Chain A
Amino acid sequence: MASLSTSDTFFKSVFPLKLRRAKLILPKPQRIFACSLCGSPQSRSLTKHSSTTQKQALNIADNGKKWQSVIGLEIHAQIKSASKLFSGAGTQFGVSPNTQVSLFDAAFPGTLPAWEQGRQEGGMESKTVDKGLSRGDGVGLMEIVTAPDFTCGDDAASFVKDLRDVLVTLGTCDGRMAEGSMRVDANVSVHLPGDPWGTRTEVKNLNSTRNVRLAIDYEIERQIEILENAGVIENETRSFDAEDGQTVAMRDKEKLLDYRFLPEPNLPPLVIHLDRSTLPSESSSLFVTLEEDGSGIDKICLPDQQREILEKDYEVPLIHSVVLVRHGLYDLFVTLVTHHNCDTRAASAILKTSYVAFLDDQKVEASNSPVSTQELAELIHIYHRGEISSSSLSIVLGELSIKQHLSCQAIIEEKGLWMVSNEEVIHAAIDEVLAKNPQNVKSYKKGKVNQLKVFTNKVIKILEGKANASHVQSLIKEKLDK
């Protein structure tokens, strides 16, 4: 099993170049990473080389000791390409076994690796190198290693999410962690302030951001507990069991595999040039340039720029913009607002909830949505005018994907999804709910204001979701407070 001598230097040179380039076009070197849980912005530079800027999380043990945790990540991202790196075989996920295996992939004797001249998306002529064991696999991997700059699971998971967004935006990785397109290894250690860093363990193969967070937090807790009880942390490799949320030792040091790598003799060195100007006139060696082709990277708006624009220009709250950007809805949102005059709040609310759920349901990317932007805009207008509820809107989306010849108006009509405009019907429903729940009415009158929500939900249920919740709630309040 041969590997490439060039791989390490290749990664060090190619990937940071991409990042550096990405960084160049940013207004400031510091990038905003949104914490997915609380929505609070965290400042962090994308290329982490310095450990001096780290902020360390404090974990306070039962006896009041404050432990600091240090986390570093190693991320393997599969390169999005139509073919494998060294053979022309396909790379689709979930197709029949053995249909994407070339003679080379199956290691037939006499077959040799060759750089696939397959076009890489993302506006760059570049190819990257497989890291190691390739038999039966052979899809290119990017290896991205961070400095030990993270302090807790959420911190690290947020970075992974953002990195994923960047790679997906650049088109270099599809970012589907569940399919194994991105895997994370986390190095975790804890120590007391002022002490040298503790012995680290490595948790391997984390395949979701949730698992990154849970595994790291579990590992921090586990190490603190051992140290609190005067134990010793073993330098070991652990795996994460998502079922019970624990990390378990994978293999002990003695059994650590020695892969016995040697440089790959079948591929001549690949020379990387920033642009064509440095190309030697007469060179028979293989080369790539990082020059942009027509759809240059400069035109790509990176995730945090997108969020910034959403926040500054459209006043979309960060917690909404994170979701929009993560699901690739930035372009759609801008089109809806600028070309179709949709209300920004209505558009972001619908895209963030109903539309994301709809795409999820249809198992399609935003770019392949069965619903046209035109129809979606019309729906958002109708919603914004208060003529349908958000739950009805979801139904219309579902119908539109099947009956593409119908307009949303026609579907609303056909399904009878217009908002109940007859106030009497609403009042009748309210009366019915209040009459059926005298106990709740009593407790409301005693001051339990949250009962209002209970009533509202019941009324909306009777009205089959075709009513505006806040309108119904105010009517109920009016009635009860009389």
Chain B
Amino acid sequence: MLQSYNPPYNATMVEKVIDAGGIIVGKANMDEFAMGSGSLDSCHGAVINPWNLLTFSCNQIQRSDWCIAGGSSGGSAAAVAAGACLAAFGSDTGGSTRNPASYCGIVGLKPTYGLLSRHGLIPLVNSMDVPGIMTKTIEDSVILLNAVAGHDIRDSTTVQESLTPFTLDHEIDLSKLHVGIPKEFHAPGLSEEVVEMWRATADHLEQAGAKVSQVYMPHTRHCLICYHVLCCCEVASNFSRYTGIEFGLRSGSEESTEELYAQNRHYGFNDVVRGRILAGNFFLLRKNFDRFFLKAQRIRRLISNDFKAVFDSGVHFLLTPTTLTDAPSFNWFCEKDNRSRCAEQDIFTTPANMAGIPAVSIPLRISRRGLPLSLQLMGPHFSESRLLSLAHWLEQQAGFPHLDLDFLDKQAIE
């Protein structure tokens, strides 16, 4: 739909980066309209996880069972992990920044809803979309966040105050921290390796003086189904703009306007996008509105209240896995359709979007398959400064071995 579309304006985030002296290198591949968690459903082809290059040579990959990069902002994560750029933006509606960051072994930050401007971000779900920041280190994330955060008159949902730039607290006093481990995040399908890392990290925090305790978030289990309904509803509304009249693909018969719309939308959207539009329009029918949309909104409130209750009880941050496993293989991922995979892959990441709270995925270990393993930290609204300070501490403790592809240059020279 937007393949040949050149936006006539820059996103606020892009403007701010340029103003701060940044250089824009390019745009990254992703799932079509950010719908997916594998970065496989793109009209530009699939995104391949750069960690594959440690196992396969470039020309072997396509024929092998390679690992996916995660999604939907898989291209951004792959670019940062491979060292093609220092930082990248993703869009995070249900985990699209943190999921590929986890699989590609980089830091993926989803800030508080309203901290960054969405002006210029192609919308998926307006009430959950947040521009995400992807870098190799927490330190870099802070630099980028300071450059782009704050009020934007072109996005009414941004915070009214502009953000005061902050620096990481390198002398974090763990004895004053209370970290919660949500019981409900022990989900089926969670790999042994991830559980072990999760437990070890919690123990490590405790040993370092932090208070670590189990917390309960009873409504989390409804999160994905609720997310799916709300997402489809907003998609149905948002995507009515893509008619092929003002911009974008125009490939239909011009016999009648309605026919033109129908054909443009048929050719311009993949099955996943069309499926969500159809479902959303169904949920929003007058007769279904209360049963689906309104109900989902109420459940969203309950999920959000779970977080509030936990944070109000004195817990400062929550420690959870980002993904169930390390990066899955392409063949395994394709055994199920996009929708089933999203419903399974986004399980730990969507709650933060529902509540609008900040969350960061931090790479901590290498799995037995030689792939990155990450954990997620979540905190109350606008707690970025302290959240990232703790994330920085974990990063320092873990000493994660970042992907280094310099050997490819040497091979090329030889």
Contacts and interface: CB of A to CB of B under 8 A. Distances in A.
Interface of A: 1-2, 103, 106-115, 135, 258, 260-262, 265-268, 284, 286
State the majority secondary structure of interface residues on B.
loop
Interface in B232-276: 233-234, 236-238, 240-242, 246-247
Interface string B93-128: 000000000000000000000000011111100110
Contact of A108 (B7, B154, B236, B286): B7
State the majority secondary structure of interface residues on A.
loop
A260 B156 contact: no
Contacts of A114: 153-156
A1 B243 CA distance: 12
B156 A262 contact: no
Contacts of B293: 262
A212 to B, nearest CB: 29
Contact of A262 (B11, B121, B234): B234
B236 A112 contact: no
Nearest to A3: B237
Interface size class of B (residues with CB under 8 A): 35 or more
Interface in B1-60: 2, 7-9, 11
9 contacts: A2-B238, A108-B247, A110-B119, A110-B123, A112-B156, A113-B156, A262-B293, A266-B126, A266-B156
A286 to B, nearest CB: 7
Contact of A266 (B11, B157, B247): B157
Nearest to A260: B284
A108 B246 contact: yes
Contact of A260 (B7, B161, B236, B247): B236
B337 to A, nearest CB: 25
Contact of B7 (A110, A262, A265, A266): A110
Nearest to A266: B126
Those 8 A-B pairs whose CB atoms lie nearest each other, nearest first: A265-B127, A260-B284, A107-B241, A265-B126, A110-B120, A284-B160, A109-B122, A106-B246
A112 B284 CA distance: 22
A174 to B, nearest CB: 27
B156 A267 contact: yes
Given A107-B241, A262-B233, A286 B285 contact: no
A258 B287 CA distance: 10
Contacts of B127: 265
Nearest to B241: A107
Given A2-B237, A268-B156, A284-B161, A108 B126 contact: no
Given A112-B154, A114-B155, A266-B156, A107 B246 contact: yes
A135 B241 contact: yes
A440 B333 CA distance: 104
A1 B285 CA distance: 13
B81 interface: no
B11 A110 contact: yes
Nearest to A87: B154
Nearest to B288: A260
Given A103-B9, A110-B123, A260-B237, A286 B156 contact: yes
Nearest to B127: A265
Given A265-B126, A268-B157, A112 B246 contact: no
Contacts of B161: 284
B121 A110 contact: yes
B383 interface: no
B201 interface: no
A107 B160 CA distance: 25
A200 B298 CA distance: 36
B241 A103 contact: no
A284 B162 CA distance: 12
A114 B281 CA distance: 25
B154 A1 contact: no
B159 interface: yes
A382 to B, nearest CB: 57
Contacts of A106: 246-247
